[in-house]
Chains A and B, each alone.
Chain A
Amino acid sequence: MMNGRKKWLLVLAFVASAVLTVVFGLRAVHRRPHRRIDEPIRPWMTVTYVAHSYHVPPHVLYEALGIQHKPHDRLTIARVARQQNRPVQAVITDLMSAIERARPATPEGSPPAAPEGSPPAPSRQESRPGGSL
């Protein structure tokens, strides 16, 4: 039969593994891939992948880098930097600028910004019929 110390170690191990299951499970749920979150651009990514990830046409990014677009060329950001003899970060900065220019002014799903000088949008309570009562 198990002695008292071993029993408590077993209880401790059981509780610790249960806690870790919950912690990692919650982290997995929290980090599930959202459509609207932009991934940071990494050196291994191809220009085509960046265009796909940021939902912009690939030719826009190739033009921004001054490279002719050839389908399936598997051109990575690291290789572009090497070919153009400049830091990877400079290439990423150019890509981000091109993405910002190519994208619509407002992010997908968010309400359009009110034009300057217009009155603020009414709140839900104010716009409800009979709300002034």
Chain B
Amino acid sequence: MTPTDQALAWLSTYGVPVLFAVIMISSAGVPFPITFMLIAAGSFVELGELSLWPVIAAGIFGAVIGDLIGYGIGRWGSGTAVRIATWISSEEKWRQAEAAARKWGGPGIFFSRWLITPLGPCINFASGIAEYSWPRFLLWDIAGETIWVVLYVMLGKLFSDRVQAMKDMIGNLTWAFVALFACLVFGWKLIGYLRPAPSKEMASVPADPPGTSSLK
């Protein structure tokens, strides 16, 4: 069995505690197919093998605790821990996330929870290193993770007989959003570059001080 099959088999057999543990570990930065697990959990809810509210609660709590672990490593962890985290997530991805954390703050945390999820763990570390306020981090994090968990569990419930097909579609859709995000960032920079710079004459002429216009 592949690791994904094994994790899903544990979910099928042991239910909510496995969902909580795997989501927490993955949100802390260890790569795991948790979106697939949420979709499968939604399908099991539809089949009456799991209950809806414990699944949603386990998903949100697991994700938020995992995110806080990632944030804590970034903020208070030793240099070694940060180096390990950087190694797990790849340096390039991590640098992008740090820049995003500094630039976008709350909205960056919110959207990386449920829309551009591959950047999520990196944003956690980056927010910690950038010393982003932890109560604000927690607020944006809970809001984003709630959307993520409810969205995917409900999709699993809705397409309960086709979870693998859903996983394939959502995987592609997520990377399409990541690419779109990159496209928007590069497009914005390109527009800034192509926009004509203000001429030297205009820049050197000081604005009229108030009241001087009547002297003319």
Chain A positions near chain B (C-beta within 8 angstroms): 1-2, 7, 10-11, 13-14, 17-18, 20-21, 24-25, 27-28, 31-35, 37, 39-40, 42-46, 48-49, 52-53, 55, 71-72, 74, 76, 78-79, 88
Q: Which of B7-15, B69-77, B102-110, B201-209 contacts A (4 or more CB under 8 A)?
A: B7-15
Question: Bound state CA distance, A90 and B176, in angstroms?
Answer: 39
Query: Which residues of B are found within 8 Å of A76, using beta-carbon distances?
Result: 9, 12-13
10 contacts between A and B (CB under 8 A): A17-B183, A18-B183, A25-B173, A27-B172, A28-B170, A33-B166, A37-B162, A43-B1, A52-B47, A79-B13
Determine whether the beta carbon of B182 is less than 8 Å from that of A13: yes
Let me know if B48 is at the binding interface, CB within 8 A: yes
Determine whether the beta carbon of A24 is less than 8 Å from that of B175: yes
Determine whether the beta carbon of A17 is less than 8 Å from that of B172: no
Contact with A along B23-64 (1 / 0, CB 8 A): 000000000000000001001100111000000000000000
Q: Which residues of chain B from 143 to 167 have any CB-CB distance to chain A below 8 Å in the complex?
A: 159-166
Name the distance in Å between B96's Cβ and chain A's nearest Cβ. 12
Determine whether the beta carbon of B1 is less than 8 Å from that of A31: no
Number of interface residues of B (CB under 8 A): 42
Determine whether the beta carbon of B12 is less than 8 Å from that of A10: no
Name the distance in Å between B165's Cβ and chain A's nearest Cβ. 4
Query: Which residues of B are found within 8 Å of A45, using beta-carbon distances?
Result: 12
Query: CB < 8 Å: which of B1, B166, B187 contacts A78?
Result: B1
Determine whether the beta carbon of A32 is less than 8 Å from that of B190: no
Query: Which residues of B are found within 8 Å of A18, using beta-carbon distances?
Result: 179, 183
Query: Which residues of A are found within 8 Å of B9, using beta-carbon distances?
Result: 43-44, 76, 78-79
Query: Which residues of B are found within 8 Å of A14, using beta-carbon distances?
Result: 183, 186-187, 190
Most chain B C-beta atoms within 10 Å of own C-beta, residue among A20, A28, A52: A28
Chain B positions near chain A (C-beta within 8 angstroms): 1, 4-9, 11-13, 15, 40, 43-44, 47-49, 159-166, 168-170, 172-173, 175-176, 179-180, 182-183, 186-187, 189-190, 193, 197
Question: Bound state CA distance, A94 and B29, in angstroms?
Answer: 40
Query: Which residues of A are found within 8 Å of B159, using beta-carbon distances?
Result: 33
Name the distance in Å between A54's Cβ and chain B's nearest Cβ. 8
Question: Bound state CA distance, A39 and B163, in angstroms?
Answer: 9
Query: Which residues of B are found within 8 Å of A71, using beta-carbon distances?
Result: 48
Question: Bound state CA distance, A18 and B183, in angstroms?
Answer: 6
Determine whether the beta carbon of A10 is less than 8 Å from that of B165: no
Question: Bound state CA distance, A85 and B102, in angstroms?
Answer: 56
Query: Which residues of A are found within 8 Å of B161, using beta-carbon distances?
Result: 52-53, 55
Q: A20-B182, A40-B164 are in contact. List 17 more A-B contacts (CB 8 A).
A: A10-B190, A13-B186, A17-B179, A17-B183, A21-B176, A21-B183, A25-B173, A25-B176, A28-B172, A39-B164, A39-B165, A44-B8, A44-B11, A48-B47, A49-B44, A53-B161, A88-B1
